[in-house]
Structures are given as structure tokens and as C-alpha cells.
Structure 1
Amino acid sequence: MKKKKKLFTATASVLIAATVLSACGSNGGTANNSSGDASPSGENAAGSSESAEQVKLTLWGAVPAEAGPQAVIDDWNKSNPDIQVEYVRYVNDDPGNLKLDTALMTGQDSDLYINYTINRLQKRVDAGVALDLSTKSDYDIDGQMGPDAAQWKISDKYYGIPTKKNMAFIWMNKKMLDDAGLPLPPTDWTWDDLRDYAKKLTKDGVYGLLQHDASFTATIDGTIAGLGVTKADGTSNFNNDLWKQQFQTLHDMMFVDKSTPEYGEQITSKMPVDTMFLKGEAAMLSAGEFIFRNANNLKDYPHDFQIAFATIPQVTKDQPDFKYAGGLGDVLSVNAKSKHQEAAWKFAKWYADGGMLPMASGGRIPSSKSVENKQAMDLLLQGVEDKYDTESMNKIVFGQFPSFQLNVMQQALDARKEEYEKYFLNEQDLDTTLANMAKRHQEFIK
């Protein structure tokens, strides 16, 4: 009963967020005028000027302030006494995004904000709270960030600057691999290979694999990126055979092999998977680069093993055009309802072209060509050089892989999650799960 209540609460939060955003969507996402200047209600109206008095901006992001953002803000504020920025942290989950969306709607305390998925950004564009950057001619996003930036375009326009290199991968305890006689896997390994590794690495008090919530769907998303979200006839492809195979494999790992936690146990206990991995309670962890901020913090997360890296596995070796969750991320947007759009835009350009560099120590590698990779790598490894297998880090973390941003409306993804949760909670069978996911997705397509 408690499980159902939690699922209902999560679903309700999503519906509330959608209602809040739709209520402020009448301006179509373009609250600025065609010149890119502040709207008449802003501080440029009636002959006033941003420079006449100190401007105060608020930046919302999901990274803890002490993991880099506060250092970024301090650098800016020291050099720009006329434009002072305050950082507000929100948790990147449904309640946290609802809190941000509510602030964006009012326009009073949210001038800049960072988006972590394109479907969240799409909702904010639809709601009119993301500034259309096509009106800005003083910054070349494609030129600065490269071709992967285009994955964040909506209706062929940018509504934010993708600021960092982004990728999910498998974190591996190198000592446990060596003790089990297991080599680092090839880049084209599969979930069958991962299952075999996990079984061999599982022992008393140690899971073979843990998965962070943010990476739970990395393989099925990468699979649908190659297959196509819809079939040739335009109907939903959420019931494809590769998803069925991957869900079955993961279910067997939970309930047959016991090499990864049961879904219900992980969710209800709010299992701290990154902490468990760093404490040696798991041999492998599926997660993104954000784990570096804990892995590099040896005071709070001491560990005596080297960390190696592997790619997110495919379902099968011969599946069509598999892509990796990643590319570019941390898309910095200006609130179209902000009264200080020009000041916010000035900060956004500075942040993207190197201002964010203090966050590299926590794994957030700037994507701008104005920042040298070596600068970011030196910050990332400073003081912890011996804690990583540098060969696999260079190959995987700093490697080049075909990437994607899954552009599916949030409601469809929420519905998909509701259905696969029922399967992993043993409340419905796999065929029913796939059929329901496709049916509900089809309703959104219509």
C-alpha cells in the first residue's frame, strides 16, 4: 500500500507541474521583443537603465552550492559589482522541478536556470518562460559548443546554451574486477555481459550492480534513439522487442541472481547508491559524471580502490544505431519573464565560455571551445590522480561516442515509468507492461 501511495504522489507532482506551466504559456515562449531587449515591463522601460543601480539575479541549478556553483558565483560577483548573482539549489526530481517551475511562472526570483533534460526544457518553452535566443546575434552557440548542441534545439531555435559535456557510464571498482579475474569490458558489451559480470562480482554485503535513478533508462533510451520513437506506420514503438529483452534481463538480475537491488527496496529506502559504491558495497554503478563530486571528496567518501569506467551496455551487439545518453547537457536558460534579461544574458555567456570552470572538479566539463580540455582534466584529477584508472577514463569519460537527447514529452515518459515500475514491483507482467506503455504513448502522439 505504501508503494502505491508513493507512486501516486510522484504522479500527482508531475500533473501539478504541468498545470502550473500551462497556466503561464499564453505568450508562446517568446516574452521578449524582436530586438532581444528587455520587455517593456523590465528595467529598460521608461528610460531607466540596468546600469543605474545594482542588478540582482538569481540562478537556479541542481548541483549543491559547495560542489562548484558557489565558487562560480563568487568569481562573477567579485568582478561584476553592478550585477550580483545568487545561487538557488533545487533537486532535479518532480517536486524540485515543480518548485522551479512555480518560481519561473512568477518571474520574481528566477532569472536564470539550468535544464537537465530536453523534455523539461520543452515544457518551459511551451509555458513562455524560456527566452528565445535566436534574437541574440552576439553569441554563436553552434560555433562555441559544436554540432551536438543542435540536439537541444526546439523548433530549430535555441532556448538555452548547452554548457557541459555529458555522459552516463558504468563506474567500476577496479580492485574487485581484478580479484574476480575480470578484464575491463569492450565498448560494445551487452546487458548479457553485464549480467555475467554482476553475478561474478556479487558476494555477501556487495551488490554486483547499482543504478542511479538518472541512469536507470540509459539503455532503453539509447535503443529507442536508434529504432525510432515511432514505427513506420506512425504508431508507438514503446513495445519493441529490445526493450522487452532488457527489462527481462534486469528483472532476472533483481529476483533471480540477486546481483542488483529489487526496485521496490531501492525506491522505498532511497538507497544512496553512489555512497554505497564508494564504500565498497557494490562493484559497479551506472551513473553520470555527477558522481565525481563525491568520488573526489575523500574526506567524506574515503576509498582505497581505483575507479575504472565502461560504456553503458547495449541490449545486443547487432542492434541498429545504438546511441549513448550524453552529448551536451546543463542547458542554461534565461527566464523570459525576468526583469533583468540583458544582465542575465551577459552572465550566461560568461558562464558558458569558462565561468563554470570551477565546477570541473565535480565532473562538469565545459563544452565551450574557449575552454581547453586540459584545464578541466587537471581540475577533475587534482589531488586524486591515483584514484582512477586513467586509461579507461581517457577512453570512456573523455571519449567520443554517438550521443542523443531523447525528445519525448514529459507526460509520455512519466507514463512509461509508471508502467515499468509496476513490472519491477511485480504488479503486472512484462507483456502487459509493454502494451500499456505503447498504448499510453500512442494517446499522447494523437
Structure 2
Amino acid sequence: MFGWRRRNRTGRKTGRSKKQQFKLDKESVLPNHFRCPISLDLMKDPVTLSSGITYDRESIEKWLEDGNFTCPVTNQVLRSFDRIPNHILRKMIQEWCQENQNSGVERIPTPKVPVTGTEVYEILSSIEASMKRLDQCGFLESLKKINKWGFESERNRKCIVDNGTATTLANAFVTFSSDDHHQSLESHNYNVLEEILSSLNWMFPLENDARKILGSKPSLNKLVLLMKRRDFLSTKNAILVVEELCYDQEFIEALVGIEEVQEVLVRFIKEPICHAITKASLMVIFSMVSSSNHDHERIKTQFAEMGLVTLVLNMLIDGEKHLNEIALGVFDRILDSKEGREAACGNDLTMPVLVKKILRVSELATEYSVSSIWKLSRIEKQSNEGRVLFEALQVGAFQKLVLLLQCGCGDSTKEKATQLLKLLNPYRAGLECIESSDFKNLKRSF
């Protein structure tokens, strides 16, 4: 039972495994001049500063990005921030790794030279020239180069984004969209637009200028057109860009005015393609039904009439946990409309699902669940029917709400929970509460 204790040099056990011992041995033979002075790890891409000291590129760039202007070792102010690749030292490190391969040391690959701001500026100038000529081939060739740089390293992606690439691509999207007078799904510009969206997807979050440009009427019309196209990649890229833009109130108001956009979004919920598209669709719908626009009641009514209440309830039963919070938010907002409340009251899943989600998903999901029950109960109180409250008690709402107050919640949720307990209390006599997990066998409404 004491086998874990260390042994002395005569043969007793130590607490180190062979793997740990090997790691220590490997580190002990690593030449000091191969270590980065900052991280103390083996340098993979050694670069030399104007001070003459060599560092691993990743470590020294982080140091400089944090606002430091001195050499970490000498503490002298740097005359320039140029990082000169130390090819001789890098080759020495690679040779050492090669010689020690039998000891488990992996050879570091020859690093690619990172892209510079100047190179990005030059390729963007080339893109803008191609846009003016409506030269699709030249444009795609330049875009291909940007994507190649971007996927080589995180540093390249940052450099590309920081130099305004997203704004240039947003302008390109509008330019090639405007050039298409037929608004056809088989437009000769279709491939160009699809490639632009694919590139923008790895540049999130988009800068404000890019967001404003993509929110223009020609861009919005084309985004919805691409969403309608039954092609996985174009659909996914388009809806993800729309999701990225949907936090802007002006964009949402413009999006609502696009014909058929609501039907397309509901179709993505009804006929799920992948988690990313479903989540993005829910986020866009949530932004639309949360809008303070004077037309927001009409939007909620339309979604309710399209059957979104039932679709969301079914999703909450079988859907992934990470979608539950957004789905509950959409459900809560739709209940602000008369049609939404009628659809919810007419569905046998409503109360079991809402009670089940309290304290199960997240604090925000609990807030939406309580709010939804509160809205349905308050409306019913005015009609003096009591059916919703009766159903809530049957699936254990009273106990769940008491537990919620004991665990703690936000002021708004606490107030609604307290009001619900007062509404439920008169109906408790003679009712047997059941576990809220017993709703799975209830017949669904489709």
C-alpha cells in the first residue's frame, strides 16, 4: 500500500513515472541558447531584435503587442520593432532535434515567413482594382492568396483583419451584387459572392465599416437570396454573416423589410441542416422578435402563424442543450403576441417543457421559462379559466418556483416567480403534482 513512496538511489520507488523522468532528462540536455528568454521553451521560430537578443517569434510579439517598447533581457529601448529571422540558429535547433529523435524529440518545421501589413495592403489594392474592372478571375486569385495566408497562422489572420480586409471584401460583395441585374440564383456572380462570404466567416467579429456596408439594400437582398438557395455552403455562409450583423437595430429593421426572409428562417428550424445554421437562424429570429420597431408585434404574429411556437417546443425536447437558451428566448418573445399565446396554450407540451427547463439549462434559460409561464398565467387570469395554472401545478411548477426562490435569481425573475406562486396557490388543493420529466410521452402537435 506504500508503493507510491519514493525510493532512494539503491532502488526504492520515486513518485515520478518514466514519462515524467524522460521529460526531465530531455529538458536537462536542451542547450540554453535554444531556449526563448521569455518562455524558456525551445524556440520554434527564432527572431532577433535591434538589441541583438533572439526570442521565439510568438513570445516576443506578444510582449510587443502588450505595449512594451524595450528588450526584455537588456531593458534597452528598441530602435525598431523589426523581427529579423535568425536562420542560422533555427537550423542549429532543427539539427539538434534531428540528432535527438531517438529520445523522442520532434523536429520543428521550418516556419513560414509571416505576412506583413505592406503585403496585405498590396493585395487589397489589387482586389480594389479588380472590383473596378469587374474582373472576377483577378479578384478570386487575390482572394485565394488572402485565404492561404489566413490559414497559415493566427498571426497572419490578425494582420489581415487589422488592415481592413473585411471592409474591402464587404465593398466587393456589394459591387458584385449590384452588377447582377437579374437577381437570379444562377447569377454569373454567384461564385464570387459565395467566396467572399466564406472568407468573411473567418474574420468575425467584423469591423463597423464592414457591417454597415453589408447592411445595405443590395447586400441584404443578395444575402437572403443566397440563404434561399438549397446549397449547404452558400446557405451556411450567408446565415452566419446575417447572424453577425443582427445585433445592429438598423440592420434588423432593414432585414424585416426583405420579402420571404421569415419563411426562410422558419424553414431552417423546420428542416434542420446543421447545428450552426439552426443556431444562427434562432439568433436572427430572436433579434427580429426583440426589435423595438413599431412593427415588432406584426413580426411576432407572423412567426406564430408560421408554426414557430410548436417548432420551438419540439426543439426544446430533442434539441442540443446549447440551443435551449436561444429557443426559450424566442418562445418568450413570441408570447407577447395574441397568436403566440393561443398557439402555446393549445399545445400539450408547453407547460411540461417550460417547467422542466427551470434550473436545468442556465440562469438566462430559467428567466425565459419563468417569464413565459408568467405571461400565459397572467393572460389566463383575466379570462378566469385556470387551465394553464392547473397544468402548471400538475407538472410540479409550484415546487420548482419555491426551489428557485430558495436558490436565488434576478429581481425580475424573483418578482414573476412570487406572483406565479400567488396565482397557483388557490388551485393546489386536491391536485397531485407529478415529476416534470413525465412529459416525454405526451402527444406532440405538428
Q: TM class, shorter-chain normalised? A: under 0.3
* Structure with more helix by fraction: 2
> Which TM-score applies when normalising by structure 1?
0.22
> Which TM-score applies when normalising by structure 2?
0.22
Higher relative contact order (CA 8 A, sep 6+): 1
* Structure with more strand by fraction: 1
